[in-house]
Amino acid sequence: GQQLNQSPQSMFIQEGEDVSMNCTSSSIFNTWLWYKQDPGEGPVLLIALYKAGELTSNGRLTAQFGITRKDSFLNISASIPSDVGIYFCAGQRGAQKLVFGQGTRLTINP
62 part of the interface to another protein, by CB under 8 A: no
Whole-number minimum distance, CB 58 to another protein, in Å?
13
Whole-number minimum distance, CB 94 to another protein, in Å?
6
Specify the residue, 3 or 68, whose C-beta has the smaller distance to another protein: 3
Considering only 23, 64, 74, 101, the residue that binds another protein (CB under 8 A) is 101
CB within 8 A of 25, min separation 6: which ones? 4, 5, 70, 71, 91, 99
Closest listed residue to residue 79, CA positions, set 20, 23, 38: 20
Specify the residue, 39 or 81, whose C-beta has the smaller distance to another protein: 39
Closest listed residue to residue 45, CA positions, set 61, 22, 27: 61
Residues 68-97 interacting with another protein (rule: CB under 8 A): 88, 90, 92-97
Whole-number minimum distance, CB 10 to another protein, in Å?
10
Residues that bind another protein (CB under 8 A): 1, 3, 6, 9, 30-31, 33, 35, 40-45, 48, 50, 88, 90, 92-98, 100-103
